[in-house]
């Protein structure tokens, strides 16, 4: 049985859990360090990154989560989750998990466009465009050399200059600036479960 933890301190963890169940994976809600035992993967949902980072400290989860990431357990952050995983964040008064070599700016798409949707080309998911929902999303300002860009905003997007990365991967760490847990298309969840399966196979698990 694959065990996927969903950080359940705040934000839209229930939506992630619902998608996992649709894919026949029973999620594990993570609220305290003992919930991290034997996880094959972890999802950090959308919500409010300042609250996540504050609560991770209050619940003594910060160091155990860093340990999990250092051990290479596949982890996926969506929107606020992307911020929580980023190495550098402008305007955040708490430490992140520093697991992904990107720099993000919070709420940088501008007030008028707090939320928007875009059809993305994501070669890793196949030919069909992926309809992505952005809600007060972070802008990825810089991407380190070891980071693979899986999708960028299309050119001509009215929000900011096209070409801005919105889905990235560094080894077993995945991050999307948008919310796949809020749409019907399960391809990003299946893509993440593929990373989890590959990691399990490499470690010799059944
Ligand atoms: N703006 C939020 C933050 O800075 C992220 C919003 C979201 O997850 N939808 O954490």
Q: Which residues of the chain have a pLDDT value below 50? A: none
Task: Please pick, among 48, 181, 184, 189, the residue that the annotation labels catalytic.
Answer: 181
Q: What is the full DSSP assignment across 53-112?
A: HHHHHHTT-HHHHHHHHHTT--EEEETHHHHHHEEEEES-SS-----EEEEEETTTT-GG
* Beta carbons of 170 and 100 less than 8 angstroms apart: yes
* Beta carbons of 104 and 78 less than 8 angstroms apart: no
Task: Please pick, among 79, 103, 121, 184, the residue that the annotation labels catalytic.
Answer: 79
pLDDT of residue 206: 53
| Distance between Cα 175 and ligand 1 center (Å) | 13
The full set of domain ranges for the chain reads 4-203
181 catalytic residue (yes or no):
yes
Question: What architecture is the 4-203 domain classified under in CATH?
Answer: 3-Layer(aba) Sandwich (3.40)
Whether pTM > 0.85 for this model: the answer is yes
| Distance between Cα 109 and ligand 1 center (Å) | 12
Token pair recorded at residue 69: 């990431």
């Amino acid at each position: 049985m694959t065990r996927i933890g969903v950080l359940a301190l705040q934000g839209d963890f229930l939506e992630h859990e619902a998608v996992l169940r649709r894919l026949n994976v029973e999620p594990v809600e993570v609220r305290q360090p003992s919930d991290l035992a034997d996880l094959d993967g972890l999802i950090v949902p959308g919500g409010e990154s300042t609250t996540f980072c504050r609560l991770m400290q209050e619940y003594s989860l910060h160091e155990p989560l860093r340990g999990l990431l250092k051990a290479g357990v596949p982890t996926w952050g969506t929107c606020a989750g992307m911020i929580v995983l980023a190495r550098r964040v402008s305007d955040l008064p708490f430490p992140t998990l520093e697991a992904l070599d990107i720099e993000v700016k919070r709420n940088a798409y501008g007030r008028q466009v707090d939320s928007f949707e875009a059809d993305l080309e994501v070669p890793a998911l196949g030919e069909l465009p992926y309809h992505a929902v952005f809600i007060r999303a972070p802008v990825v300002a810089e991407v380190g050399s070891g980071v693979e860009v899986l999708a960028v905003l299309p050119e001509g997007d009215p929000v900011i200059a096209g070409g801005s990365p919105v889905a990235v991967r560094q080894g077993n760490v995945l991050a999307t600036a948008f919310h796949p847990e809020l749409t019907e298309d399960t391809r990003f969840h299946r893509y993440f479960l593929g990373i989890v399966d590959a990691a399990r196979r490499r470690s010799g698990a059944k």
